[in-house]
């Protein structure tokens, strides 16, 4: 089975070795044919606490690390997108 990868933005880093990543998914409404955006949040394992809020990151699926953590940080693509 291949590892799944997702790209998202860090929305929280207040937990120790854990970040929350929001992943946007665009889909077309079957009834109205309108493009909609669904946001899903994933709990991601960040071993060295290197991510900050606003970072664009790549995450991969992993074995269950806790009750909600099923993803691990692969790499940081871009540091702090919200900074001017």
Q: Where are the domains of the chain?
A: 5-78
The CATH homologous superfamily to which domain 5-78 belongs is: Nucleic acid-binding proteins (2.40.50.140)
- Written as six digits, the tokens of 20 are 């929350």
The pLDDT score that the predictor gives to residue 42 is: 98
Buried b (16+ CB within 10 A) or exposed e, 57-83: bebeebeeeeeebbbbbbebeeeeeee
Instruction: Read off the DSSP letter of residue 55.
Output: -
Q: Whole-model pTM?
A: 0.88
pLDDT at 37 over 80: yes
pLDDT at 67 over 80: yes
The pLDDT score that the predictor gives to residue 2 is: 75
pLDDT at 1 over 70: no
């Amino acid at each position: 089975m291949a590892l799944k990868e997702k790209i998202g933005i860090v929305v929280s880093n207040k937990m120790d070795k854990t970040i929350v990543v929001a992943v946007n998914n665009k889909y077309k409404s079957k009834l109205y044919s309108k493009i909609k955006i669904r946001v899903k949040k994933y709990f991601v394992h960040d071993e060295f606490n290197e991510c900050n809020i606003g970072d664009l990151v790549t995450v991969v699926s992993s074995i269950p690390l806790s009750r909600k953590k099923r993803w691990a940080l692969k790499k940081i693509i871009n540091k702090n997108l919200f900074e001017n």
